[in-house]
Amino acid sequence: MNTLDVAAAVLDALNQVQASYLMVGALSSNLYGIPRNTNDADFVFAAATTDVSAIAAVLGAGFRLDPQLSFESITMTLRRVITHIETGFLIEFFELSDDPHDQMRFRRRQQMPFLNRRIFVPTVEDVIVAKLRWSKHVRRSKDIDDVKNILVVQDMANIDLPYIRTWAQAHHTIDLLNQLLADTGPKP
């Protein structure tokens, strides 16, 4: 089983338990930008409608649910991890928080095809907003690279830049956004 097979199995399990979820992280930015390898799949889930233990049970013996809950420091939510034993691929589940942007991107989620399935993902704008925010708080260059790759690949005429700017102002990432737009914009 390769990592895409693992991701497909997780998506099937999410659908089987009728989870209310959103695929985030590198896999969501890969849909809009230049794909990169990742060692995990990240999901935000509505805690009231989703039981991570049930997802682990559907996945079966090849997967292990970490009994230890952890805490995600940006949105202040609980995190659960399921590991695919053979590959070490991590599936991280973050509880939907009360954070205004977390709530907004969950409401704005859309369905897209991925691995011959229909999945729930953030809009391109919400991926950019989240990646800018993570790059500020966690200082990961891969988040900035993901934003650059999205800006290079996407037709800017189809992106709601005022929406992104509003959230970038709120998250204090507007200077970074402006720099990335200047770096990736049309060149004379």
Over residues 27-46, the pLDDT tens digits come to 999 999 999 888 899 999 98
DSSP annotation string for the chain: --HHHHHHHHHHHHHHTT--EEEEHHHHHHHHS-----SEEEEEE-TTT--HHHHHHHH-TTEEE-SS-EEETTTTEEEEEEEETTT--EEEEEE--S-HHHHHHHHT-EEEEETTEEEEE--HHHHHHHHHHHHHHH--HHHHHHHHHHHHHS-GGGS-HHHHHHHHHHTT-HHHHHHHHHHHS---
pLDDT at 163 exceeding the cut of 60:
yes
Is residue 81 within 8 A of residue 58, CB to CB? The reply is no
Query: In the structure encoding, which two tokens stand for residue 91, read together?
Result: 């599936």
Average pLDDT of the chain, as a whole number? 91
pTM for the whole thing? 0.91
What average pLDDT score do residues 65-71 get? Answer: 86
What average pLDDT score do residues 13-34 get? Answer: 93
Query: In the structure encoding, which two tokens stand for residue 128, read together?
Result: 């950019």
Is residue 107 within 8 A of residue 47, CB to CB? The reply is no
- Of 36-45, 52-61, 142-151, least confident by mean pLDDT is 36-45
pLDDT at 10 exceeding the cut of 60:
yes
What average pLDDT score do residues 3-17 get? Answer: 91
Distances (CA, A) of 89 to 3, 32, 45, 180: 7, 22, 19, 31
pLDDT at 100 exceeding the cut of 50:
yes
- Report pLDDT for 71: 77
Residue with tokens 């979820």: 21
Q: Is 182 exposed, middle or buried (0-12, 13-18, 19+ CB in 10 A)?
A: exposed
Output the CATH code of domain 3-184.
Answer: 3.30.460.40
- Of 84-88, 127-131, 135-139, least confident by mean pLDDT is 135-139
pLDDT at 188 exceeding the cut of 70:
no
